[in-house]
Amino acid sequence: MTKSTLTDVKLRNLKPDGRARIEIWDSQLPGFGVRVSQTGTKSFILLYRMFGRPRRMTLGRYPKLSLAEARVAAREAMNAVANDVDPQADTKIKVKPGEPAPSKTETRSKHRLDKVIAEFVIKHCQRNNRASTAHETARVLNAHLTSQWPARDIRKIEKSDIHGLLDDLVEAGKPSAANHALAAIRKFFNWCVERGYIDTSPCLGIKSPTKAVSRSRVLNDQELAKIWQASFEVGAPFGSIVRLLLTTGQRRSEVGSLRWENIDMDEALWTLPAEHNKSGRIHSVPLTKIALAELKSVSKSSEIFVFPSLRSPTRCFSGFSKCKIRLDALSGVTDWTLHDLRRTVATGLASMKVPPYIVEKLLNHSSGSFSGVAGVYNRFEYREEIRDALHSWEQHITNLLAQEEAL
């Protein structure tokens, strides 16, 4: 595979092989390149993975499409992929076994499910939601709708279909996932009604399959030490993610989608842009010695994400469930979630007499001390106070590990 930084000079000077087409891949933008046919036609191309399957996309011919325009088109396509939206949603769709093949009319229909979901994510989620929310909505819809009926006409999806997929999730022991799925699916079909694609939502009148229960699980010191030690046995990248969750107190989605561009090693600071965190505000997280060492030890296999997907360097890590099962088996600690680590950090800091407003600032909460008028006018970052609190928490973890080794 030939890699080079593509420039207009290089593109103009590219000559055809005469025997076979050649492909040159851009070293600056992964997956982006140019193909030169035997006759000399130059076309910009993009390689990416969608649901684990490699896809190839032709962006346009050079010089009709300039290099700058092609780069923009490639980045837009990869942004769609990062949100689980196939930029080629209308082509090469494979039908699930047992699902009747769509007719040519249905394939081209504007009511085709996978096509409408892609449109919903781009026109509604990406415009009105934070990037993390748009990504999660796309993931849920593709996991529960696109994977089931990619070619089905949305007008033919009935209430019984929705009940069926919710029942399957509950029976599989995933009641919370069923509630989240219904919320995303309901939002999607309400949008379809607004757009005039359907007259009535098939979710109308469907209640949440299970009652939402607020969790209160906090890991004790022994459990914390066992999980920390087992995280090394699980290996990278999941083990590193767990340790960063415990040393920063941030959300699973934020650590899992951590980007190199947001880390300042010299200042020992991680800055989350407003579009990459739940609060919708810029949030700075001081990094302790352990957190910094963890980041420096990570193999930089992606130019974008600290923890890329095992399938594609342009997507963030997503294999939490399987890795969590292995971590439970190795640690012997059960009945906990990764989000419980965040609650454990907050509770631990409170037990150390760290002021509540410092804990809230670390967690990037807009309630409590920073709700209402207080939140509007108090813009102080408390960065050094948060750094001191995290150093104390890091020392607590270090002491726990030393005690475990001494036993």
Q: Please write the tens of the pLDDT for every residue from 191-217.
A: 999 999 999 999 999 998 887 666 688
The tokens for 4 are 């080079």
For residues 23 and 163, membership in a common domain is answered with no
Confidence of residue 355 (pLDDT cuts 50, 70, 90): very high
Q: What is the pLDDT of residues 214-240, one digit of tens each?
A: 668 899 999 999 999 999 999 889 999
The tokens describing 81, both together, are 């992929």
Give me the pLDDT at residue 266, please. Answer: 93
Report yes or no on 207 lying in a domain. Answer: no
Among 237, 233, 282, which Cα is nearest to 255's? 237
Please say if the pLDDT value at position 121 is more than 70: yes
pLDDT of residue 398: 94
Give residue 83's pLDDT: 66
* Beta-ladder partners of 58: 45
The two structure tokens encoding residue 304: 């974008």
Tokens of 189: 């079909």
Choose one of 160, 195, 230: the last residue of a domain: 195
Q: What is the mean pLDDT of residues 22-46?
A: 90
Same-domain check for residues 233 and 372: yes
Which residues are 47's β-sheet partners? 56
Distance CA 297, CA 245 (A): 16
Average pLDDT (326-346) is 93
Residues in the chain: 407
Task: Look at phi and psi of residue 64 and say left if phi exceeds 0, alpha if psi is from -120 to 50, else beta.
Answer: alpha
| φ/ψ of residue 346, rounded to 5 | -60, -45
In a domain, 128, yes or no: yes
Other Cβ atoms less than 10 A from the Cβ of 351: the count is: 10
Residues of the chain above pLDDT 90, percent? 46
Task: Evaluate if residue 134 carries a pLDDT over 70.
Answer: yes
CA atoms within a 13 Å half-sphere pointing along the CA-CB vector of 125: 27
Residue 328 lies in a domain: yes
Q: Are 344 and 220 spatial neighbours (Cβ–Cβ below 8 Å)?
A: no
Q: Are residues 304 and 370 in the same domain?
A: yes
**Under a CB-based contact definition with an 8 Å cutoff, are residues 202 and 155 in contact?**
no
pLDDT tens figures, 257-309: 999 999 999 999 999 887 766 666 789 999 999 999 999 999 888 888 999 98
- Residue 399 domain-assigned? yes
* CA–CA dist 281, 294 (Å, integer): 26
Instruction: Give the 3-state secondary structure of residue 258.
Output: coil
Task: Answer yes or no: do 239 and 348 share one domain.
Answer: yes
- The residue written with tokens 């022991």 in the block is 173
- 201 occurs within a structural domain: no
User: Taking all residues of the chain, what is their mean pLDDT, rounded to a whole number?
Assistant: 85
**Is the residue at 89 inside a domain?**
no
CA distance 44 to 62: 7
Whether residue 66 has pLDDT greater than 50: yes
Strands 32-36 and 42-50, sheet pairing: antiparallel
What's the total number of domains in the chain?
A: 3
Residue 371 three-state SS: coil
> What's the domain range around 60?
2-74
Burial bucket for residue 54 (CB in 10 Å: 0-12, 13-18, 19+): exposed
